[in-house]
Amino acid sequence: MLAFAVRRLLVSIPVFILSTFLVFLLVTWGADPLAQLKAKNPPPSQAVIDAMSNTLYINHSLLERYWHWFSQLFFHGNWGPSVQSGTDIGQLLRTSLTLTARLVILAMILAVILAIIAGVISATRQYSKTDYSITLIGFLFLSLPVFWFAILLKQLVVNMNNSLNWYWISTYGANTPGLTGWSAFSDAAGHLVLPTIVLAMSSYASWSRFQRASMLDVLGSDYMRLARAKGLSRRRVMVRHGLRTALIPLTTQVALDTAAILGGAVLTESVFGWQGMGTMLVNAINAGDFNAVLAWLTVAAIIVILFNLIADLLYGVLDPRIRNA
Amino acid sequence: MHDLPSENTQTTGNLTPSAGQIEREFTVKARTQTQLVVRRFLQHKLAVVSVFVLVAIVLLAFVGGALWHYSYTDITPDNSVSPSARHPFGTDNLGYDEFARVMRGTQRSLEIAFTVAILATIVGTVWGAIAGYYRGIADSAMMRFVDLVLTIPIIAAGALLGHHFQSAGWWALALVIAGLSWPAVSRIVRGQTLSLREKEYVEAARALGAKDSRIIFRHILPNVIGQVIVVVTILVALAILTESSLSYLGFGVQAPDTSLGTLIASAQTALQGGQWWLFYFPGIMIILICLSVNFIGDGLRDAFDPSQQRVRA
């Protein structure tokens, strides 16, 4: 198992390096860090523009620029200068990431649990009324634009709060500044409720469909019938033999969807006014902040690769054939 | 990419008709594969209804605008009125007729979605088929590239490029979304191709001296079509949702032009102000399109691969 883990870890390092290069290409192509400067009125002198390009290291060849960025980041822990005034990218990234990580991890856990429950119930009662309602709800959430649902939910809760005169569930921001101890915790939890629900539901939809399909696949297999025939209880067969096998495809799917969840977080944060990764990305793109966008996408790539790694390891835990291969 | 059938599920079971149909099978003339698929699809009632809903929406979007008594650029004398016979979806602050705008927005969103679906399907299918057919180094290199593209969140890269190509119009946005969504298609096609290339009929074709391109396009791809069609439906839904999300963030379709996402983005504050119609109608339109497309996809999946449909013995 350890050898397996180490091997997988070593494989993901070149994937990560290549992925930073791809991201670098994408950002050089898609962001013009001098745009804001050039658009100033009156236009700045050529010397100012030259000085700026010098700071940003953009008057070099592509490979030189990539190497400069890469070595600065990995040998000096330096994300590079930002074109947004008073912004330190490393600092911004840390605060944004802690905020967003809270939301994303909670939402993923909630979505996985809900999806497993819904998928298993749906599959074991295929074509029942329960199955049809769960399927219908799944399809509805699959078709719902995340931000539309978020705005709707937000408005509902605003109305609810006003009529109940109880404001624990917050509709804006990530926390109220200036609180300490228990009240700070309770306040942060209240701010998390709505974004977590929105983000979880956007993934829940496809995962529950997926879990239903893989559970159905397992239920039809011979070893399930054998397990029942040798006298194991239905419950034990379902959990030990059925669910364990049926979780394997879901693990892969969850890891594959990590990128989509980060995208969903951008939208969710933008609706609920969180100063997290979403806001950071939107601001960086609008400012043409080359290094900030690059930092964002690099962190996203690390997260996606990390989740794929975790999924691979879980795969090993769930499926002995892979572990011992 | 959501809800794609994975490469390793559903291999059990095939086209065996259920017990009740077997007797009829012998008395009725033989059916082709296509006829079987169509028959099975027609049994999926929600999918059939969805086809009609989608056709109605497409007609409304592409023809409706020309027939309606307001254009989406007309400023009517009625400011901010709630839905009535004259303005079925109401009007906004400036007096724009929301029904005309929703029709126009739907047209734009559908154009983007269809373009994305077509481009991503073609690129993804060819890419996956070549990787799966040649295996070896070509396969590794091509699929590693796919893995790399999949590490980039579509919304983030779409926002970056959407911002950059803002002035280029809707087709640039469609290109960007397509460029980020084809890898999922290629994965599925590759998985299928890997198993199909070992089939006897492919070997027979090779023995007869068929070229690789002929084998791929004439013998392998037609047999992947079922899976690909299902993916196309998912792509359409995904493209509509991505387009509207990008437009909501301000990186998608821009102001004089309009799309469903742009309409919702501008109606955000309207909901608080009580103009619920500006918020609900474009949103419901997106849901209707995606729901019907998803149901059609579900029906097609069952029709092409009924293995999960049978009740367990």
Angstrom distances, CA of residue B227 to CA of A263, B116, B263, B303: 26, 17, 34, 11
Dihedral, A114, A120, A123, A129 alpha carbons, nearest 10: -60
Task: Tell me if A217 and B308 make a contact (CB, 8 A cut-off).
Answer: yes
Looking at residue A141, what is its pLDDT? 92
Task: Tell me if A26 and B10 make a contact (CB, 8 A cut-off).
Answer: no
Closest chain B residue by Cα to residue A257: B1
Dihedral, A11, A15, A18, A22 alpha carbons, nearest 10: 170
| Mean pLDDT (whole number) for A78-86 | 80
Looking at residue B159, what is its pLDDT? 92
The answer on pLDDT for B186 being more than 70 is: yes
DSSP per-residue letters across A25-55: HHHHHH--TTHHHHTSSSPPPHHHHHHHHHH
- Give the least confident one: A212-226, B87-101, B145-159: B87-101
Nearest 5 degrees, angle CA B288-CA B159-CA A270?
Answer: 70
Query: Which residue did the predictor score with more confidence, A311 or B121?
Result: B121
**Contact predicate B125/B183, CB 8 Å:** no
Q: Which of chain B's residues have a Cβ under 8 Å away from the Cβ of A147? A: 244-245, 248, 264
Looking at residue B47, what is its pLDDT? 92
- What is the residue whose two structure tokens read 């054998």? A226
| Mean pLDDT (whole number) for A123-146 | 90
Report CA A201 to chain centroid distance, whole Å.
Answer: 13
State how far the Cα of A252 lies from the Cα of A257, in Å rounded to an integer. Answer: 9
Task: Tell me if B148 and A18 make a contact (CB, 8 A cut-off).
Answer: yes
Task: Tell me if A148 and B283 make a contact (CB, 8 A cut-off).
Answer: yes
Among residues of chain B, what percentage have pLDDT more than 90? 38
The answer on pLDDT for B15 being more than 50 is: no
Q: Is the backbone of residue A170 left (phi > 0), alpha (psi -120 to 50) or beta?
A: beta
Nearest by CB to A26, from B160, B163, B298: name it. Answer: B160
State how far the Cα of B271 lies from the Cα of A171, in Å rounded to an integer. Answer: 15
Residue among B294, B312, B296, B313 at smallest CA distance from B304: B296
B146, two tokens: 């796919």
Dihedral, A54, A57, A61, A63 alpha carbons, nearest 10: 160
State how far the Cα of A159 lies from the Cα of A136, in Å rounded to an integer. Answer: 27
| Sign of the four-CA dihedral A81, A84, A88, A90 | negative
Query: What single DSSP character describes residue A290?
Result: H
Q: Which of chain A's residues have a Cβ under 8 Å away from the Cβ of B290? A: 142-144
Looking at residue B4, what is its pLDDT? 46
Dihedral, B79, B84, B87, B88 alpha carbons, nearest 10: 140
Query: Strand locations in A152-278, DSSP E?
Result: none
Nearest by CB to B295, from A139, A206, A297: name it. Answer: A139
- Give the least confident one: A15-24, B20-29, B190-199: B20-29
Q: pLDDT (tens digit, 9 = 90+) per residue, A37-61?
A: 777 777 777 887 787 777 777 778 8
Does the CB of B164 have a partner CB in chain A at under 8 Å?
yes
Q: Which of chain B's residues have a Cβ under 8 Å away from the Cβ of A127? A: 311
With cut-offs at 50, 70 and 90, classify the pLDDT of residue B164: confident
Q: Tell me the pLDDT of chain B averaged across its residues.
A: 84
Determine which of B57, B149, B155 to mutate to test the interface with A (most A C-beta atoms within 10 Å).
B155
Task: Tell me if B6 and A249 make a contact (CB, 8 A cut-off).
Answer: yes
What's the number of CA atoms in the CB half-sphere (13 Å) around residue B63?
6
Query: Which residue did the predictor score with more confidence, B309 or B36?
Result: B36
Which residues 6+ apart lie within 8 Å of A7 measured at CB? none
The answer on pLDDT for B69 being more than 60 is: yes
The answer on pLDDT for B88 being more than 60 is: yes
Phi, psi for residue B97 in degrees, rounded to 5? -75, 115
The answer on pLDDT for B269 being more than 70 is: yes
Angstrom distances, CA of residue B73 to CA of A295, B88, B104, B220: 41, 17, 10, 49
State how far the Cα of A229 lies from the Cα of B210, in Å rounded to an integer. Answer: 51
How many angstroms separate the CA of residue A46 from the nearest CA in chain B? 24
The answer on pLDDT for B225 being more than 50 is: yes
Query: Which residue did the predictor score with more confidence, B23 or A81?
Result: A81
Report CA A47 to chain centroid distance, whole Å.
Answer: 42
State how far the Cα of A107 lies from the Cα of A95, in Å rounded to an integer. Answer: 19
Does the CB of B35 have a partner CB in chain A at under 8 Å?
no
| Mean pLDDT (whole number) for B242-256 | 89
State how far the Cα of A71 lies from the Cα of B85, in Å rounded to an integer. Answer: 65
Rg of chain B (C-alpha set): 23
The answer on pLDDT for B116 being more than 90 is: yes
Angstrom distances, CA of residue B26 to CA of A105, A238, B20, B21: 57, 39, 12, 9
Task: Tell me if A127 and B164 make a contact (CB, 8 A cut-off).
Answer: no
With cut-offs at 50, 70 and 90, classify the pLDDT of residue B25: low
- Give the least confident one: B16-25, B186-195, B300-309: B16-25
Nearest by CB to A26, from B150, B157, B298: name it. Answer: B157
How many angstroms separate the CA of residue B241 from the nearest CA in chain A? 6
Task: Tell me if A260 and B2 make a contact (CB, 8 A cut-off).
Answer: yes
| Mean pLDDT (whole number) for B159-187 | 89
Does the CB of B169 have a partner CB in chain A at under 8 Å?
no
Determine which of A17, A21, A142, A254 to mutate to test the interface with B (most B C-beta atoms within 10 Å).
A142
Task: Tell me if B151 and A304 make a contact (CB, 8 A cut-off).
Answer: yes
**Contact predicate B130/B221, CB 8 Å:** no
The answer on pLDDT for A266 being more than 60 is: yes
Q: Which of chain B's residues have a Cβ under 8 Å away from the Cβ of A293? A: 160
DSSP per-residue letters across B251-265: SSS-TTS--HHHHHH
Does the CB of B271 have a partner CB in chain A at under 8 Å?
yes
| DSSP three-state, residue B221 | helix
Nearest by CB to A267, from B155, B160, B287: name it. Answer: B155
**Contact predicate A269/A282, CB 8 Å:** no
Task: Tell me if B286 and A260 make a contact (CB, 8 A cut-off).
Answer: no
With cut-offs at 50, 70 and 90, classify the pLDDT of residue B313: very low
Task: Tell me if A142 and B294 make a contact (CB, 8 A cut-off).
Answer: yes
Among residues of chain A, what percentage have pLDDT more than 90? 31
| DSSP three-state, residue B97 | strand
Does the CB of B167 have a partner CB in chain A at under 8 Å?
no
Q: Which of chain A's residues have a Cβ under 8 Å away from the Cβ of B10? A: 213, 217
Nearest by CB to A209, from B3, B249, B251: name it. Answer: B3
Interface A-B: count of C-beta contacts within 8 A: 167
**Contact predicate A49/A34, CB 8 Å:** yes
| DSSP three-state, residue B91 | strand
Task: Tell me if B245 and A15 make a contact (CB, 8 A cut-off).
Answer: no
The interface residues of chain B toward chain A in range 76-105, judged by CB-CB distance below 8 A, are: none
- pTM to 2 decimals? 0.86
With cut-offs at 50, 70 and 90, classify the pLDDT of residue B222: confident
Q: Which of chain A's residues have a Cβ under 8 Å away from the Cβ of B1? A: 256-257, 260
How many angstroms separate the CA of residue B183 from the nearest CA in chain A? 12
Task: Tell me if B163 and A19 make a contact (CB, 8 A cut-off).
Answer: no
| Mean pLDDT (whole number) for B106-110 | 93
Nearest by CB to B2, from A142, A151, A286: name it. Answer: A142
Domains of chain B: 43-68+97-304 (1.10.3720.10)
Looking at residue B1, what is its pLDDT? 40
Nearest by CB to A143, from B10, B161, B294: name it. Answer: B294
State how far the Cα of B181 lies from the Cα of B6, in Å rounded to an integer. Answer: 16
Q: pLDDT (tens digit, 9 = 90+) per residue, A213-243?
A: 889 888 888 888 898 898 888 888 888 888 8
